[in-house]
Structure 1
Amino acid sequence: MATSMTHLFVTILILAAHTAFAETNMLQDFCVADLKGAKVNGYACKDPAQVTPEDFYFIGLANAAATSNSSMGSAVTGANVEKIPGLNTMGVSISRIDYAPGGLNPPHLHPRASEAIFVLEGRLFVGFLTSAGKLISKHVNKGDVFVFPRALLHFQQNPHKAPASVIAAFDSQLPGTQVVGPSLFGANPPIPDDLLAKAFQVGPQEIQKVKAKFPPKK
């Protein structure tokens, strides 16, 4: 009896796995995002009759973005599904990141994607933190590739006197980005001062000073 039940259980698991695999496969050539339609864990497909080459095209990564208006000296130009509707359901996207001399892409994470960067120009100090708090870091140069695992805190810094830039690839059409400082200290509604003070083992006055640097998002 136990053997029969085991066989039945294994059979159910195999069938479930095949069903899940079948349901996640594309059943059409593409699903260009209808950016004006409802969004439920992604975008609905645009009418194929209205699809154009522009749905699969984006020129925004050709030139370096201005970093002078950034407090961190870095600028991210995303090429995700919101810029390229043809990426919908494909599970990939890319970005360009430009760094002024001394620029920083501050500690942040992508909740829905791993990231691989290819250094176009310059040199960078990059790294990520494991869930055990270990820093994995390296100085990278033009032509190098470095990978950041999904949902782990990571950063890129340009400590040199020349600009730098990278192309970043993601295994998500919309990776999402959560930056540590603004997320914690610029939350809307705000996280209580006493909670943050206890978490960081500082006084409420210090928390208020930090919060003043991160106005809440509207």
Structure 2
Amino acid sequence: MVSRQGAIVIFVKTPGFSPLKTRLAQTIGQAQAEQFHRLSAAAVAAVVKEVAQQKQVTPYWAVAEEAALPDPLWNQFSTIFQGTGNLGTRLAHVNQVLSETHEFVIFLGADAPQLPVDYLADAVDRLANVAEHPQFVMGPADDGGFYLFGTPICLSRETWLNVPYSAANTGEMLLAQLEGQGNVYRLPVLTDVDTVQELQTIIQEAGDETSLEPEQRQVLDWIRQQNFLEY
């Protein structure tokens, strides 16, 4: 039976199991890059948890490594293995699995810790009643990708595979694949972190920090303490 709830799934890699934040690590070192990933994932999870307390949604971690599914780092939510292959293949797999039991799926990266609760809540509302709202939701990233994507249908594997990932036109190419399948509601643009310069940008995008979750403020405090301006 399909749940009345939607699913929100955060894509993560596990420190010690896979290389992660490789571009960032080239500048600030692997240890600090892994620390950012841990803090950022916790911040995104705090936003998801807050929305899950308000809306009919179930949170998940989509973990890149099957052996890391029971890792304590991911014990806050249920876990799902991303599967094998490139990112398109893994997105298609998670979309298929969660669409079997949920009315819609929202995909999140773990690299935009400044994500406002209101943005995610808006995405849920837009997807909860597709008869009245646009069928898809995208949160564009300023590098051309996306930090959030929501769909009430299980997209075909070919749709996911026809998108070039980690490219300047990733978001637009995904939208092109959706043409004719429904309208798209766009959230405001946010920065997701791949480089040391973007660490400074997310502080600016965070705005009024009193409205942030404690885990989000922890990320910003960590960035300020690292003296990244020297890079």
Structure-2-length-normalised TM-score: 0.24
Choose between structure 1 and 2: higher helix proportion: 2
Q: Larger relative CO (CA 8 A, sep 6+): 1 or 2? A: 2
Larger Cα-atom Rg? 1
Choose between structure 1 and 2: higher strand proportion: 1
Structure-1-length-normalised TM-score: 0.25
